[in-house]
A and B are shown apart, each in its own frame.
Chain A
Amino acid sequence: MAIEYLGLSSINGPLIVLEGIQDAFYDEIVEFTVNGKEKKMGRIIELYEDKAIIQVFEGTQNMSLKNTHTKLSGHPMEIALSPDMLGRTFDGIGRPIDGLGPIISTLKRDVNGLPLNPVRREYPRNYIRTGISAIDGLTTLIRGQKLPIFSGNGLPHDQLAAQIVKQASLGDDSTEQFAVVFGAMGVKHDVAEFFRRTFEESGVADHVVMFLNLADDPVVERLITPKVALTTAEYLAFEQNMHILVILTDMTSFAEAMREVSSSKGEIPSRKGYPGYLYSELATLYERAGIVAGVNGSVTQLPILTMPNDDITHPIPDLTGYITEGQIVLDRNLHGQAVYPPISVLPSLSRLMKDGIGKGFTREDHQDLANQLFSAYAKVGDARNLASVIGEDELSATDKKYLAFGKAFEERYIGQGPEENRTIEETLNLGWELLRMLPKEELDRVDTKVLAKYYDTEDNTDSDR
């Protein structure tokens, strides 16, 4: 039988202090009853003998030192799991909000998860075709990868994520089960609605589990949202053998929530006021992507984060980039020129790409072609800088060719329709077609044999037209 404690010792922001408790444990979930009716949940984040510091998920409004009853739950933060979760919508800590009743299951899991043992991981090698050239060709997404989208406010990251879900879910292999876990932290109602509608339109709605913590929902709750989402994803992937794509948006709100809680705990801040353990916290989320050896499912993560002030060196994108296996960076400049998707290819990267492309996966020339496109496009930048100083007319013939290449590359390779779904062949051939705008001796990243086969023969592009 559980003891109820009446009253609190202090309230400070989302944190409360409770004294005189017995037999509590670190990280335990507690339940509050405020004024005899309102229910809230919290988590013990520091514990000194009989004094606990508790983080209240729903925020501390309406709580006073007198009106609150507290009960220890005897378990850490858990979520009930079942395949019935597919097609359902939950709040930020995993309670159903779609009016279809609770999930009935005896299987409950600690949302904190456990680290996956590196010896039991399987190194990801299968690429996911997204149908988007800039991704498939240059920053290939691999099943089991964590590849965030670095964006800014007002850029079409949601649209891009939705297009990836739509086109990747079509897949080339229909025998495998695919599902989406969607975790929203502090997003606007419109954004959540946009994703819900997209999932419905593309026919995947009954394969989506949504966890919504919206912008006006309690801040502390969103510290739990990605954890419940990932616990669900791991369950579906590793116990139900499904291929799960996890979309987490917006990671910036998650980090902001951490900073808020940390500062009310009075912790020593590190960079820009974020707590010193921001890296560890982000890592425990991102590292929950992957494949367990011998299991048929996988967890692929596509977190979205908005870079404050478009600054990629801000702690949130910076630490994220150090953990994730690459990043897709969106660019305001390209967006301004009406290029969709506005993917800035130079800072974008997929670390797992090298092992999931090439002969047997995509095509033998893929890596060389990608390197050459990166290198050529980097030179476009130099040529443009020079043109802005001395004028386009004064440029050397080669530099002029680079300018033309750059324009075509942005319009035709990066740019494509929001409904356009390109095959990998189309993407690769388009790459060679654009490279042919440049003199052959400029192509220094390609093995001589590959160059002879693909640069010199135009057949492979013509046949596709």
Chain B
Amino acid sequence: MHSHSREVITVAKTGTIYGINGPVIYLKGNTGFEMSEMVHVGRERLVGEVIGLDKDMTTIQVYEETSGLRPGEIVEATGAAVSVTLAPGILNNIFDGIERPLERIADSGGAFITRGVSVDSLDRTKKWSTHITVAEGEEVHGGTIIAEVPETTAIVHKCMVPPDISGTVKSVVPDGEYTIDEVLVTLETPDGEVKELTMTQKWPIRNARPVRHRYPASIPLITGQRILDTMFPIAKGGTAAVPGGFGTGKTMIQHQIAKWSDADIIIYIGCGERGNEMTQVLEEFSELIDPKTGNPLMARTTLIANTSNMPVAAREASIYTGLTLAEYYRDMGYDVAIMADSTSRWAEALRELSGRLEEMPAEEGFPAYLASKLSAFYERAGMMQTLNGSEGSVSIIGAVSPQGGDFSEPVTQNTKRFVRCFWGLDKSLAYSRHFPAIHWLTSYSEYLNDLGSWYHANVSPKFVDYRNRMMALLNQESSLLEIVKLIGSDVLPDDQKLILEIARVIRLGFLQQNAFHKDDTSVSLEKQFKMMDTILYLYKKCRKLIAMGMPMSVLKEDNIFERVIAIKYDVPNDNLQLLDQYKHDIDRFYEAVLEKNA
């Protein structure tokens, strides 16, 4: 028996390795293992999961490198599905795809990740300052909050009764300092059984945590990014896909949302992406201060890192690990946003494993169950009433890395069927360094109608109308540009030249947003609305001038267009009154043009 396995396993089911093919291993005979059960493989006790069973063969995917394994080595079942440990200590932390803390792995194994590392998911020795919220004799059920622990400076962790347990509280401990393993509350269940509750719960990653009720989308997830909040908003509990070829800025958008969105908790899943990127998030988020709460961003963030050189099977699991952590915080009543970068790597991990299993491929070698896996993933998002009656949400923002930047490939197409926001990144915008390179003609948000009344009540009754008018101008620009491509812009009538000019102001002054500028990196809805208001006011005044026969060339002599474009830099976020000045300037410009050309 290995010294580091803590749980006492009464009768551990075992099997013997017969074949090894990359991350997939085969055991001969009927092992009695269960589907999705977690197993320990070989002498190094590599972590694996049962993915196939028939009467004379058990198939297992191994979450670590399999080099060095020999046929004949023993595989031991753990009796439980692959699960995550849920307790304080998850936030301000970075885990691998199966919830092993990378910091601990580094402490025990050095800078490079070795195999068969056995570390606890969460710190079991740390004492947390605990406030008990139930009393003896109280009836509790799944989801009832039994204790509150300040997990980080930003977030109070609410320890709950696991979903499948209910009963009467027999005893509680006094408020004080406790580890995640110490018993806080003792229950007697309806059938007379006594249950001891600690802060810790385990939950299988592939099962959604139960909720009471699902609400329709009604509140936006505010990101501070103009093209998202104004043009293509996502709701709290919503789903969005960000597809784009390499270099179009998927990761940048994910970082921006993770930094500036008004979610309570961010789960950032680096799935098959670059190691340096995870390091960057970790460094940057530890230093950056959340303007709303004054806490470091890491205090509300958890990173799941399965970089592209880590084992592929754990990449497949990392998405579910992140989702389960998100659902757990949702159950406490928090709004959680998941950044999954990138879902294509997860789909490719499915393909790779499916190929090793010699399954019949569908499109481009992807397994036929790709679509159902994707839909099951995105359907775990939502604004929910939790088991304890509070409201919480999980929003999912998934990056998609289409092969060759071609949106017709299977992952993008299938994702499109299950998300309601599509933020299509465009190569030519990225090439001309227009960021965010979200193309306004290919993108859409189905939440626009659901959120209209919220914008009406909370920002301005005109908000949606203004947004639609700007979209209309951009659409007109695109058809005019078709003509310009053929005959040049000089021959257009002046009212059409004006549309081109205003569309340019919208593109450069509004849609383009500089993530590295201290004011422009994140913008309040109020500023977004006022910017729209100013641009449309400029348009209205110019249209009047044009109608009076003033040529566009005369209008362009004034630098008012350039000044409106520069609002994003020139008006600091903490001094929005400055914006009101622009309407006066536009009026003055209007008068001046009239006077000069009277």
Contact = CB atoms under 8 A, between A and B. Distances in A.
B276 A26 contact: no
A447 interface: yes
A275 B485 contact: no
Nearest to B569: A447
Interface residues of B, number: 81
B159 interface: no
Given A287-B309, A318-B404, A118 B111 contact: no
A117 B105 contact: yes
Interface string A108-151: 00101111111111111000000000000000000010000000
Contacts of B585: none
Q: Which 9 interchain pairs have the tightest Cβ spacing?
A: A313-B404, A378-B432, A283-B308, A270-B365, A27-B67, A321-B246, A287-B309, A48-B19, A114-B112
B486 A120 contact: no
A55 interface: no
Contacts of B279: 118-119, 121-123
Interface in A16-57: 23-28, 46-50
A2 interface: no
Interface in A56-98: 76
Interface string B261-285: 0000000001010111011101100
A347 interface: yes
Of A322, A346, A385, A396, the most chain B CB neighbours within 10 A belong to A322
Nearest to B403: A318
B310 A115 contact: yes
A312 B427 CA distance: 12
B577 interface: no
Nearest to B247: A349
Given A323-B308, A441-B562, 20 more contacts: A27-B68, A47-B20, A47-B70, A76-B67, A114-B113, A115-B310, A118-B94, A120-B106, A124-B276, A271-B365, A280-B312, A287-B309, A313-B404, A318-B245, A346-B432, A347-B247, A367-B516, A374-B432, A375-B432, A448-B570
Nearest to B409: A271
A365 to B, nearest CB: 13
19 contacts: A25-B67, A25-B69, A26-B66, A28-B68, A46-B19, A110-B67, A112-B67, A115-B275, A115-B310, A117-B111, A119-B279, A238-B111, A279-B308, A280-B272, A313-B405, A321-B247, A326-B247, A351-B247, A386-B485
Contacts of B71: 24, 47-50
A354 interface: yes
Contacts of A386: 484-485, 488
Contacts of A314: 404
Interface string A427-445: 0000000000000010011
Given A352-B276, A386-B485, A292 B403 contact: no
Given A46-B21, A121-B276, A375 B433 contact: yes
A1 interface: no
Contacts of B226: none
Contacts of B508: 444
Nearest to B308: A283
Contacts of A292: 111
A281 B330 CA distance: 37
Interface stretch (B332-340, B347-355, B464-472, B532-540): B347-355
Contacts of A352: 276
Contacts, number: 222
B401 interface: yes
Nearest to A293: B111
A122 to B, nearest CB: 7
B434 interface: yes
Given A46-B20, A290-B276, A117 B351 contact: no
Nearest to A27: B67
A67 to B, nearest CB: 27
Contacts of B358: 268
A107 interface: no
Interface residues on A, range: 35 or more
A275 B355 CA distance: 9
A325 B433 CA distance: 17
Given A48-B71, A394-B488, A375 B565 contact: no
Contacts of A27: 66-68
A327 interface: yes
A346 B431 contact: yes
Interface in A247-283: 267-271, 275-277, 279-280, 283
Interface string B99-110: 000110110001
B449 interface: no
A340 B307 CA distance: 36
Contact of A268 (B105, B361, B403): B361
Contacts of B431: 346-347, 374, 378
Contacts of A371: 433
A315 interface: yes
Interface in A361-415: 367, 371, 374-375, 378-379, 385-386, 389-390, 394-396, 399
A276 B351 contact: yes
B272 A396 contact: no
A286 B569 CA distance: 38
Nearest to B66: A26
Interface of A: 23-28, 46-50, 76, 110, 112-124, 144, 238, 267-271, 275-277, 279-280, 283-284, 286-288, 290, 292-293, 295, 312-315, 318, 321-323, 325-327, 346-347, 349, 351-352, 354-355, 367, 371, 374-375, 378-379, 385-386, 389-390, 394-396, 399, 441, 444-445, 447-448
B184 to A, nearest CB: 31
Contacts of A394: 488, 490
B590 interface: no
B387 interface: no
Contact of B18 (A48, A238, A267, A321): A48
B526 interface: no
B433 A277 contact: no
Contact of B246 (A315, A318, A448): A318
B257 to A, nearest CB: 18
Nearest to A269: B365
B517 A447 contact: yes
B209 interface: no
Contacts of B72: 23, 49
B67 A49 contact: no
Contacts of B247: 321, 326-327, 347, 349, 351
A26 B70 contact: yes
Nearest to A442: B562
Nearest to A262: B355
B352 A26 contact: no
A275 B365 CA distance: 9
B489 interface: yes
A119 to B, nearest CB: 5
Contacts of B207: none
Interface string B62-95: 0001111111100000000000000000000010
B335 to A, nearest CB: 27
A313 B407 CA distance: 12
Given A279-B345, A318-B404, A49 B355 contact: no
A107 to B, nearest CB: 15
Most buried by A among B276, B345, B428, B487: B276
A347 B404 CA distance: 13
A119 B246 contact: no
Given A277-B312, A280-B352, A290-B275, A120 B19 contact: no
Contacts of B441: none
A313 B103 CA distance: 37
Nearest to B488: A390
A227 B354 CA distance: 26
A116 B111 contact: yes
B364 interface: yes
Nearest to B520: A447
Nearest to A447: B569
B59 to A, nearest CB: 13
A16 B351 CA distance: 26
